[in-house]
Chain A
Amino acid sequence: MFVYEKKLQYPVKIKNTNPKLASIIITQYGGPDGELGASLRYLSQRYSMPYPELKALLTDIGTEELGHLEMIGTIVHQLTRNLTEEQIKTGGFDTYFVDRTAGVYPTSASGFPWSAASMAVKGDLIADLTEDLAAEQKARATYDNILRLSDDPDVNDAIKFLRAREVVHFQRFGEGLRLAKDKMDEKNVYFLNPSFDQ
C-alpha cells in the first residue's frame, strides 16, 4: 500500500508568479512524457515482471515518479498564486484559466488531457523495459526544453533536479534489462516470454 509523507522530495520555493511558465510546465503533470504517465506506466508494468530486481525497480521508480508529480503540481500551483486580473488575461494562460481557474489539472501544454494512450504495458519484459528507457529519455528531453524556455532560477532549480533523476532512472532500467538477460535463454532471449510462458 501507499503511505503519504507530508514533504516534497526536493524543496520547491517559487517567489514570482508566472502563469505563462505554468502553462508550459503543466505538460510534465499530464502531458505525453509527464510524471503521471511515468508513475502509472511503471506501477502498472510491474505486475507482469518475472524477476525480483525488475519488480523492485518498477515499484521504486514508479513511487519516486509520484513524488515528482507532486513537485510539478507544486511548481504550477506556486506559479499561479495570487494572479491579478491583468495576469489571467495575458501571458497565454487565459485558455487554461477559463476551464480550470488556478486548479492543477493533468493536461499537456497544448491542452490535450492526460491519456493512457501516452503510455504502454506490453506484458513482455524486453518490450516494457525498452519502452521505459525511451520514456526516461523523452522526459529528460522535455525538461531540457523547459530549461530553454524558462529563465526563473527558482523553477529551474527544481527542474534540474527532476531532469537529473531521468538520467539515473535510464541507467537503472538499462541495468535491470542486463540482469534480466542473464536469467533468460542464453542462445535466444526471444525463445519465450518469461513474463507469460512457463
Chain B
Amino acid sequence: MQMENSNPNTPVTPSTPSTPSVPTTPSTPSASCGTNAGSLPGCCAPLAFPYVPMQSTNPVRFGRMEALQTGTLFPGLDLPFKAAIQAKTKLANTALVELMALDFAIDELGLYLVTHAQDQEALQLYWSYIKLANEGREKYQKMYGPLLQTDLTPEDGYIWLKDPWPWDEGGND
C-alpha cells in the first residue's frame, strides 16, 4: 500500500504497521485491535442484538489518490470481490480527479467521524483536507467553470450552462 508523504501539505498517516494483525480478543480496547479488526462489547455481549465491531480509532489510511481508486480510505475495509481483483485503475492526474480525491477523503473521514467523534487525529486530518479541497476547488473553477451554480468565475456570462455536464462525453476529463 502506498502512503502519501510526498506533499508537505498532505496530512500524515499514522505510524500503525500496515501488516494485517491477528484479530484480538473482544475485550481489548478498540485502539489496539489493528487494521483489519475492531472491538466488540466485552466477551459476553447481550443476546438478540446484532454487532459489527467498532473500527479502531486512528486507523491506517491510504493516500487520497489510492483511496479514490480503492473506494475506501481504509485498508481494513478494502475487501474486493474475486472477479474484481486486478490491478487498480490508474486514474488520470487531472485537476478534476485531484479534487475528487480530496472530496472523497473528506466524505470518508466525515462518515468515520460520525461514529468516532472523539478521534482527534482523524478530526485534524479532516480539517486539513477541507483546507486543501477549498484551494483545489478555486483552482478548478478558474480553469473549467463553476461547480456550484453560485460560484464566482472570471468568465463573462452565465457559465453554469457550459457543456460538458458530468454525464456527457468529456465530462470527466
Contact = CB atoms under 8 A, between A and B. Distances in A.
A189 B49 contact: yes
Given A11-B172, A175-B52, A167 B79 contact: yes
A178 B52 contact: yes
Contacts, number: 140
A177 B46 CA distance: 14
A176 B115 contact: yes
A168 to B, nearest CB: 5
Interface residues of A, number: 55
B136 to A, nearest CB: 12
Interface stretch (B6-14, B15-23, B66-74, B124-132): B66-74
B104 A9 contact: yes
Contacts of B3: none
Contact of B54 (A60, A126, A162, A178): A178
Interface string A162-198: 1111011011111111110100000001100000000
A78 B111 contact: no
Contact of B91 (A11, A133, A144): A11
A156 interface: yes
B52 A60 contact: no
A53 B114 contact: yes
Majority DSSP secondary structure for residues of B touching A: loop
B91 to A, nearest CB: 7
Nearest to A6: B147
A8 B165 CA distance: 10
A8 B166 contact: yes
Nearest to A163: B81
Contact of B167 (A77, A144, A159): A77
Contacts of A100: none
B110 interface: yes
B80 A78 contact: no
B111 A172 contact: yes
A92 B14 CA distance: 50
Nearest to B166: A8
Interface in A127-175: 130, 133, 143-144, 147-148, 153, 156-157, 159-165, 167-168, 170-175
Contacts of B48: 189-190
B41 interface: yes
Contact of A60 (B92, B100, B114, B147): B114
Contacts of B103: 9
B114 A56 contact: yes
Contacts of B147: 5-7
A47 B51 CA distance: 24
B35 interface: no
A59 to B, nearest CB: 9
A44 interface: no
Nearest to A15: B169
A70 B167 contact: yes
A56 B50 CA distance: 21
Given A74-B167, A160-B84, A167-B77, A189 B46 contact: yes
Nearest to A158: B89
11 contacts: A6-B166, A7-B147, A11-B97, A11-B100, A60-B111, A77-B167, A167-B72, A168-B74, A174-B50, A175-B52, A175-B54
Given A164-B72, A167-B77, A175-B55, 11 more contacts: A5-B148, A6-B160, A10-B100, A11-B172, A12-B172, A53-B114, A60-B111, A81-B169, A160-B71, A160-B81, A175-B52
